[in-house]
Structure 1
């Protein structure tokens, strides 16, 4: 490595992608430093998928404790304590943050707990004023919740603040129709809040299969969640009693105890000094990169949500790994394949998907076969719960290859993880048919499609 620089790699941002890239690069022998102005671990660990999934687990008990009676259990004096769950979750977040820090330390990665900006070619300046040089600079600063511009937007919260509320709001309005909106709607509904989702379009979960998202809409409404479509926030006013009076497009003003916006995420590129060295940005402020995560400047790379390619933690990790291996490893450079990425929505019940939706497959392939399993899980039958699951398999009629799997039902993400391998590998419907089912399971529906 070149000794002309203080470090071989300087990473700005210690989230999932930045930590993976830094650790792997150090493992290849690079001298690595990381600057993180907030907490090590990034969005996923600190204020995203990890604490959210813990809240989802907590929310599941609301129905499980009711259903348990049908299985012979008597549970007396049950009650929910939001603060107990909140504090337990935050305690585990702190534990995970420490583990991330230990991982970097064990690989001799230097961590600067302050902001860093790019101030020249191969140069960064820390908030303390210290200037450092690096052979390569990696930007992994992630993204943040988008807050629309409207009068009173200072009164709303985002998913960042949702983890730290003093109490569960009695009435909460969630603006947005994506995965974050639907996940928190399920969480707060299970905890006893009256939840309203206001979506600016007519469709929730754009990009997911129509049949699956329609099923979630039906189930969510049956659980008591209200949906308002073609409704955007016009203004929010804080009233004397602390409640929020909200005006939505096409609706009369209504009062809520909290308003949460979940209207997408924007890359964190402001104030990094990218313009100083001429790094190209896209229309949403994202860093433009090539297949190998290189920016328009040869020695500057970027991975994760700040590039706005696929905003998912596992994708950021894979990009960080590929960058470190390609730039510092002994093998040939390689790029991450962003096609056929599996994803999940941890709604109630959860959704999992990989590959083409039915609509996408028809447009792309023309002739397809669609297989469906619409069933009530065994647990729901005994509990007297009418909630039904839906599994869909999309097959290319010309080749019999499975090009999409879409599921809504209990443990759908856990089931799909293994099935996604089959879709990625290009297996056929005949391959699934030849696999003997594990009975009785929900997952067996995947090999029983007729």
Structure 2
């Protein structure tokens, strides 16, 4: 159920990027305005609200918090389809961000209570399958609604938003609150002390910064993918493209996410540094493929390059989410994820799509819409390379910090 809720989280988060060409045409927006919608408008309150929500989740019913949050973000997604202008759409995106702030921190805390540390990367990878499945459903729902010919992006927003409200009811009726796995000493320990201890853990910061840098680039790629393909291959049927990317996300990307958790848990038993080393090695394969793809004039080579980046990037979700919990004192697990996501989403989700949008608008004046977008995407090589370096350093530090955490109980 938590994986399904997370899928709806990503349906509503990524639908704006998938429908971007239609929204741009309908509302007469430029690339910078689209970048703000895909990035910073959503991310600011999403990250800020995550902190107080996590504080509540470490004390009160996590199921109730997720139920309310799911209802809120799904409702605002549906309302987005009724937006009459740019300001109204921006306000709806802010509403979606506020709602989604209550989704992942409570869910991670629940999963950590249900699985031992040696199983957490696999369990978190199962939860993270909500990402490729959610993006798949967003693509396929868009293709289904738009294939009728008369429908538009507004119909898609309403169609993907309303089912989330029904799912919230099912969640509340079927999922029970897990027992918190804390000792009496951990329950009595001031949370502030636990948070300070967490923030003094070098490898926690390494995992945060590694996934943040990579996600900065990946959120930009996902947010501008459809714009790139529509501009580069204008003769290709857009509904067909939506179906292709939907299938890729639901199969190959999902395999990458699942494999990342399973491999990290197995490799990590003999080498704890594997939780960071695996993402570094995977990105060394995917990033060059993507950079070659955006300069290719072959449709299938471009699709292959984007796909390889997705598959290899998917490997970091399970390990990173698991380390956010395993390196955290037991009484602040939801807060650990919230702080993790505060850095991740403010910089990556807020900055990545916005960065490419602003750069693309800048380059468009001299290079045109297609080449301007490609020039902006080229800059993503920098955060990708930095991510590889940070994950590499973290792989050397993790064994020491994991042993220290285990010694503290």
The structure with the largest strand share of the pair is 1
**Larger CA Rg, structure 1 vs 2:** 1
TM-score by length of 2: 0.28
Which of 1 and 2 has higher RCO (CA within 8 Å, sep 6+)?
A: 2
Normalising to structure 1: TM-score of the pair? 0.26
Write 1 or 2 for the structure with the bigger share of helix.
Answer: 2
